[in-house]
Amino acid sequence: MKFFLYSLLLISFHLPAQKAGDQKFIQEVVKIHTSREGLPDGSIDRISILNGVPVAETSAQILQFKSGSWTGITRGKSEPAPELPAIPGAKILSVVPYKGGLAIGCTQGLYFYSDVKKLERVFPQNEKYSWLLRNVNALTTDSRGRLWFGATEGVGYLDGDTWKLFTGKEGLPYNKFTSAAAGPDGMVWFGTEKGAIEVENDYFKYRFSRRWLPGDHVNGIAVGTDGTAWIATDKGVSQISRVSMSLEDKAKVFTKQVEERHNRMGFVAHSHLKEQFNPASSELAISDNDGMYTSMYGAANAFRYAATGDPEAKALADRSFKACKWLVDISHEKGFPARVIIPVDWPEKVNETHSRADNLENQKRDPMWKDIYPRFPKSKDGKYYWKCDTSSDELAGHFFFYGVYYDLVAKTEEEKQAVREVVGDIMDHLIRHGYKLVDHDGKVTRWGDFSPEYFSSVYGYDQRGLNSMNMLSFLNVAKHVTGNPKYDQEARILRNKYQYHIYAMHPKEFFPPENVVPWDNNICLMGMYGLINYETDPALLLMYRQSLETAWQHISKQKNAFWDAIYASLANRFTKLADQKYFENKGLFPENRLYAPKVVSKLYKGNHNPDFILENLQKIPLDLIGYTMDNTHRLDVIIDSSPMQSEHVGWRTDGYALPIDERGHVRQDRDGFALLASEGDGHDEHEGTFYLLPYYMAHYHGLLGK
């Protein structure tokens, strides 16, 4: 039976390549124009496009953009303003030609002024709304002849005799308008006092913060025939271009980005920007979890190699494996993985930064903080420092990568044996120390306790679901990679004596909020991948499938391509097993004969939307700089009012997290529901792994369509 299931695993690991990665989509790309490109400092009051050339205006000068820079030009003769009627008690705010006359927006509403000088007040209404408009600051007609307005009540357009109206409930993010402009194919842009809004096919995209604009107060917008939006703000001009590219094109961009700016001796992590917002000023940095992030990059290239056969992918996966194995080989004791390795001449004085005094200071806010020194011991050869106090994050990354690398990349016996050795070393360290990561001080690390005693303590009860599941996952990976039956025996002890498999059915915390951290989602799903893929017992598979669904309930609404890809691949595998009658006639759970058929029936198919993976991958910005973004003011957001929850957590009115290009992080190990977030405030660039891993994993598992 085991041979049959392993054969099934290998078959599922070699799905035919598909062409979804080559299909074109529109990627929006931002260029910020400030004094560096020749604009004056301060506000740009107006912008237009004359004969295909962008023209920016201030109170003092007019500039045009040619050959990559802005240069001053002479102010031409302006067009005479149209003759406007007097509207008693109202201030005119916006005017646009419409049907031979004018549409006029004012403080008191919307008016049509016909070519025969007739003034008519307009009251937009449909089956849901009837509006007496106020502060109609924005008007435009689109390429399909529809009249659009932006007012205090919301946004709407008149198509023939029919009004379509939008508030926050329909996706409108903000309503303090300053301007509007039309683009090709019915596209419309609105300027607001806090950002710009792009509307395409009745869907609203919110473009604000330094990710999209130099300043949030938008004074004007002009849209070129190619759809490029030129946005004048209080701090310069933003150029948002529409570039046709494929997912594979995007992957090449991010692979290049990682290799040029995020590869430190084979380790992959974010980089620091010496000049805020400027990737050209990038310098290599270290994270707290280099092992985790290098594992993720290695796994991305393992899936890439399996899906495409690209020799570059194998070389990068091999390099990542050697780096991760080095983390294990360098430490004080066989099988203990370091977090980070840096040369001794690293510019940051790490052991001065992480001093004993610093440890004691940290313990004031976190009594469980580990007082260990040095936090960066020196390697035996004296050439490197390695960071200790390794956590469960690192282990989850290592074991996830090693299983994938062993199955998809390691071809020769020498390559496979290297994987067996490192997996065996780590697993044996954990077993030898009673399921604990034990540091150079002889004590367990802060987040490295997987022992039964810890799970029974007041300090560890909330970790037992996640850590029990992960320990069983690590043992499954070790059993699969090494073939050593002792790891099966250890897992059996943990299940039969300590109920780890029961704990694992609640694989992560959901409440209270202080116990819920987004990287636990990463740890959980990565652990699930090895746990389920390498399990052969049908009873355990049913339990683990139920555990996966429990974890998924909170994660499913975040539109995270990595988590979605893991869930979908495992759910699809369960469907295949059920189709092959793998759970039938086995006498499973005789004390409750309804359990097995109920799980198979209820969880037969995955509860996911396959389109969300593609959506997330397409929306990941090419610019992976971390910006501060505050979405708490949005009209299309519902604030989470759960007890003890932060006021900075919420979701769109459709129940899903904001799109990744509208929130304050681009990493796929963060909380998609965080409305106020900062990933370095422009001083960090994050590695392209957060696109590459979900893309190639989804590509390999056939999750991107055909």
For residue range 348-357, list pLDDT tens digits in order: 999 999 999 9
pLDDT of residue 706: 64
**Residue percentage of the chain with pLDDT more than 90:** 88
Q: Please give the radius of gyration of the chain, using alpha carbons only, rounded to the nearest integer.
A: 29
Euclidean distance between the first and final Cα of the chain, in Å?
A: 33
Return the number of other C-beta atoms located less than 10 Å from residue 489's C-beta: 12
Contacts with 409 (C-beta within 8 Å, 6 or more apart), sequence order: 301, 302, 305, 306, 314, 317, 318, 321, 415
- Any residues with CB less than 8 A from the CB of 496 and at least 6 apart, and which? none
User: In 179-278, which residue ranges form alpha helices assigned H by DSSP?
Assistant: 247-261
DSSP secondary structure string, 59-99? Answer: SS-EEEEETTEEEEE---PPPPPPP----TT--EEEEEEET
**CA distances from residue 468 to 200, 358, 461, 541 in whole angstroms, order as listed:** 47, 32, 11, 15
Find residue 120's DSSP bridge partners. 112
* Positions of the chain with pLDDT lower than 50, given as ranges: 1-18
Locate tokens 């260029």: which residue? Answer: 31
CA pair distance 705, 691, nearest whole angstrom: 18
How many whole angstroms separate alpha carbon 20 and alpha carbon 615? 13
Burial 562-577 (b: 16+ CB within 10 A, else e): bbbbbbbbbbbbbeeb
Q: Is 383 helix (H, G, I), strand (E, B) or coil?
A: coil
Q: What is the rounded CA–CA span in Å between residue 373 and residue 496?
A: 38
Instruction: In whole angstroms, give the CA distance from residue 294 to residue 325.
Output: 11
C-alpha distances out from residue 236 to 31, 192, 330, Å: 11, 15, 50
- With beta carbons less than 8 A apart as the criterion, state whether 695 and 246 touch: no
Task: Please name the amino acid found at residue 395.
Answer: L
**H or E stretch including 638?**
strand 637-639
Comparing C-alpha atoms, which of 366, 520, 577, 543 is closest to residue 472? 543
> Measured between alpha carbons, how far is residue 550 from residues 529, 540, 547 in Å?
15, 15, 5
User: Dihedral of CA 666/670/675/678: which sign?
Assistant: negative
Identical fold between 2-21+282-700 and 81-234: no
Query: What is d(CA 571, CA 119) in angstroms, rounded to the nearest whole number?
Result: 62
Percentage helix, strand, coil for the chain under 3-state DSSP, each rounded to 5: 35, 25, 40
Q: Which two tokens stand for residue 628?
A: 């501060």
Top-level CATH class of 2-21+282-700? mainly alpha
Q: What is the pLDDT of residues 590-634, one digit of tens each?
A: 999 999 999 999 999 999 998 999 999 999 999 999 999 999 999
> How is residue 295 annotated by DSSP?
H
- Tokens, residue 308: 């495409």
What does the alpha-carbon distance between residue 460 and residue 654 come to, in Å, rounded to a whole number? 36
∠ CA 506-510-516, rounded to 5°: 115
- In angstroms, what CA-CA distances link 138 with 95, 97, 120, 504, 681? 8, 13, 18, 55, 32
- Tell me: domain 81-234, CATH 2.130.10.10, correct? yes
Contact, 211 vs 30, CB < 8 A? yes
Are residues 648 and 674 in contact, defined by beta-carbon separation less than 8 angstroms? yes
How many Å apart are CA 648 and CA 651, to the nearest integer?
10
- Considering only CA atoms, which of 407, 388, 437, 384 is closest in space to residue 290? 388
Query: Where are the extended beta strands (E) located within 484-636?
Result: 628-630
Please indicate, yes or no, whether the overall pTM of this predicted structure exceeds 0.75. Answer: yes
Domain locations in the chain?
Answer: 2-21+282-700, 81-234
Distance CA 311, CA 305 (A): 7
Question: Quick one: 13 exposed, middle or buried, by C-beta within 10 A (0-12, 13-18, 19+)?
Answer: middle
Beta strands 282-284; 271-273: pairing state = antiparallel
Identify which of 481, 497, 500 has the alpha carbon closest to the alpha carbon of residue 426: 481
Distant-in-sequence contacts of 572-579, Cβ < 8 A, 24+ apart: 572/606, 572/701, 573/12, 573/532, 573/533, 574/532, 574/541, 574/545, 574/603, 574/604, 574/606, 575/604, 575/605, 575/606, 576/8, 576/12, 577/8, 577/541, 578/604
